[in-house]
Chains A and B, each alone.
Chain A
Amino acid sequence: MTDLLPSPDMSPDAGPYWDAAKENRFLLQNCDACGEWRFVPSHLCTHCGSDKTSWKEPSGRGVIYSLTTVHRGPTAEFRAYTPYIIVFVDLVEGPRIMTNLIGEGAEHAAIGDAVEVCFEARQGNTKVPQFCLAPKGDAA
């Protein structure tokens, strides 16, 4: 497939997230008050309610919490890519994030495998964070 998938819809809450992705950087909100990381982006900390937050770069590493191979895509664009893999990743810093699992060996991935963030180009000069299997021996 050579056609890029559609650009993601972007909420105003998450401007820095998408701006960073365009530069292959993964940014999450980190609470200035309690120090917890959170995802998805929000105005108030979902741990302590504080409105003081900073965008910071986590390790980008995690493990697969669960996964599925999609055989019937929701739209024509996604159907052109089936079968593709969706994963829930537990990040080292705590939050859980859903992306596709892409790259080498993805079809053999299992719960518990170590993964790291990578980026995928989308339409309109945008990019989305994705996850790839971490090189072997690279424990999360």
Chain B
Amino acid sequence: MIKNNVVIAGVGESDIGKVPELSGLGLNAQAAKRALDDAGLELKDVDGLLTAYSMTEPYFMMGSVLAEYLGIKPTYCASLTVGGGTPGTALHHAAMAIATGQAKTILVTAGENRATGQSRDAAVQALTQVGHPYFENPYGPLIPSFYAMIANRYMHEFGTKREEMAAVAVRAREHAIRHPASPMSKGITTEDVLSSKPISTPLNILDCCLISDAAGALVVTSADRAKDLKSDPAYLLGIGESHTHEHMTMAPSLTEFGTTISGNAAYDMSGLTPAHIDFAELYDCFSIVPIIEAEELGFAKRGEAGAMFAEGATSIEGSFPINTHGGLLSYAQAGASGGMHGIVEAVRQLRGNEGDRQVKKHDIGLVHNEGGILSSHCTMIFGREAI
């Protein structure tokens, strides 16, 4: 059983933004050290390691490479490639290994030096690898082009407004400014978003996530073991996945996604409903995405989540805070790191020590990771206590 028995006992992040003095492996190691410090553990205590992939340092066996870089010899080790869904799915695998006794202390890390490890053109070109090599890339799509077409159809079908998408970016920036580790210090307005450089209509540059140097890490262990550790654990109450396609051409639907399926699996495992969730850290690679996810996860009816962002319900002081760290839009996005920052933030919010970024109700938090073109999903529900 995963529910109540598996916890995140420590979280850490590397320095965020532009970190030219560290390699991608170095960023993962820095985050791992900070997560272990947070738990009161050392590298020698780690017997499991799961990590992601890297575009800037595309090692063949990333899990083994990171283990040798850290100087550890785990008995459970692999790398996963599920795009932005990787941190959540890695946590799911780690939770299964902890629950079945295959490992006792698992480090889960993700991130890379996306900002300084390659040229901006190389970064943009690397990201075309998400498109279908034979039947999409010959037509010149960017990743934003795929999400732009989802946004146009979603607005057409459900009445989501362009200004509501812009409000998602505005709220993210407001939250990032309050985060001590965030590189952001200046607010933006809806008008700034609407008049920023067009990338692929309707998406402008401020509707798109950052390109950062960043990594995050989790220490995953059993609830029993966490009792003796330094920091308050976050209990994994529910987790679920859904994988409906990779390439957008093959998506079974472009208005209903796997978010609902992974969300329902997480709700079922936890025995909770959307009404029990105090705050959420959603995947926001583009401004349309958290609107879709909030609706698919049951926080608003179809077509109505945009107003939550526009009218302030999702603010830290609002009735349902979303993306309290600033998300991929304004905090950090480095390969697979984006969703990891959401998990780290949820654990910190549950502990309740985040100062002027702290949400008022913080018993139960939900995190959603998404990879590809709304292709692979993982929904996680965390609690301050076992339930």
Is B153 a contact partner of A111 (Cβ separation < 8 A)?
A: yes
Which B residue sits closest to A81, measured CB to CB?
Answer: B140
The yes or no answer to A37 lying at the interface (CB within 8 A) is: no
Name the B residues within 8 Å of A73 (CB-CB). 140, 142
Q: Which residues in window 16-71 of A have CB below 8 A to B?
A: 39-40, 65-71
Is B156 a contact partner of A98 (Cβ separation < 8 A)?
A: no
Q: Which residues in window 96-140 of A have CB below 8 A to B?
A: 96-100, 111, 122, 128
CA distance A105 to B22 in the complex (A): 50
Name the A residues within 8 Å of B304 (CB-CB). none
- Given A68-B145, A86-B145, A98:B134 Cβ within 8 A: no
CA distance A104 to B150 in the complex (A): 25
Name the A residues within 8 Å of B150 (CB-CB). 66
Is B249 a contact partner of A97 (Cβ separation < 8 A)?
A: yes
CA distance A72 to B6 in the complex (A): 44
The yes or no answer to A75 lying at the interface (CB within 8 A) is: yes
> How far does the Cβ of A102 sit from chain B's closest Cβ, in whole Å?
10
Is A68 a contact partner of B137 (Cβ separation < 8 A)?
A: no
CA distance A14 to B128 in the complex (A): 21
Q: Which residues in window 185-225 of B have CB below 8 A to A?
A: 197-203
CA distance A69 to B250 in the complex (A): 21
Which B residue sits closest to A97, measured CB to CB?
Answer: B249
Q: Which of A66, A71, A98 contacts B141 (CB 8 A)?
A: A98
Is B200 a contact partner of A69 (Cβ separation < 8 A)?
A: yes
The yes or no answer to A11 lying at the interface (CB within 8 A) is: yes
> How far does the Cβ of A57 sit from chain B's closest Cβ, in whole Å?
18
> How far does the Cβ of B207 sit from chain A's closest Cβ, in whole Å?
12
Which B residue sits closest to A85, measured CB to CB?
Answer: B201
* Residues of A in contact with B, size category: 20 to 34
- Given A65-B153, A111-B156, A39:B199 Cβ within 8 A: no
Name the B residues within 8 Å of A14 (CB-CB). 134-135
Name the A residues within 8 Å of B124 (CB-CB). 72, 74
Bitwise interface map of A from 80 to 94 toward B, beta carbon under 8 Å scored 1, else 0: 010010101000000
- Given A72-B199, A98-B249, A9:B148 Cβ within 8 A: no
Q: Which of B134, B201, B249 contacts A68 (CB 8 A)?
A: B201
Is A68 a contact partner of B152 (Cβ separation < 8 A)?
A: yes
Is B132 a contact partner of A86 (Cβ separation < 8 A)?
A: no
The yes or no answer to B386 lying at the interface (CB within 8 A) is: no
Name the A residues within 8 Å of B144 (CB-CB). 72
Which A residue sits closest to B134, measured CB to CB?
Answer: A11
The yes or no answer to B313 lying at the interface (CB within 8 A) is: no
The yes or no answer to A10 lying at the interface (CB within 8 A) is: yes
The yes or no answer to B138 lying at the interface (CB within 8 A) is: yes
Bitwise interface map of B from 124 to 138 toward A, beta carbon under 8 Å scored 1, else 0: 110110001111111
Which B residue sits closest to A79, measured CB to CB?
Answer: B140
> How far does the Cβ of A48 sit from chain B's closest Cβ, in whole Å?
16
Name the A residues within 8 Å of B139 (CB-CB). 86, 98-100, 128
Name the A residues within 8 Å of B152 (CB-CB). 66-68, 111
The yes or no answer to B248 lying at the interface (CB within 8 A) is: yes
Is A88 a contact partner of B149 (Cβ separation < 8 A)?
A: yes
The yes or no answer to B300 lying at the interface (CB within 8 A) is: no
Name the A residues within 8 Å of B134 (CB-CB). 8-11, 14, 40
Name the A residues within 8 Å of B249 (CB-CB). 39-40, 88, 96-98
Name the B residues within 8 Å of A65 (CB-CB). 153, 254
Is A74 a contact partner of B156 (Cβ separation < 8 A)?
A: no
> How far does the Cβ of B190 sit from chain A's closest Cβ, in whole Å?
20
CA distance A88 to B133 in the complex (A): 16
Given A14-B135, A68-B145, A98-B141, 8 other A-B residues pairs in contact with their CB atoms under 8 A: A9-B134, A39-B135, A66-B152, A68-B201, A68-B202, A74-B125, A86-B145, A97-B135
The 9 listed contacts between A and B (C-beta, < 8 Å) are A40-B250, A68-B203, A71-B199, A73-B140, A74-B125, A74-B127, A74-B141, A75-B140, A88-B248
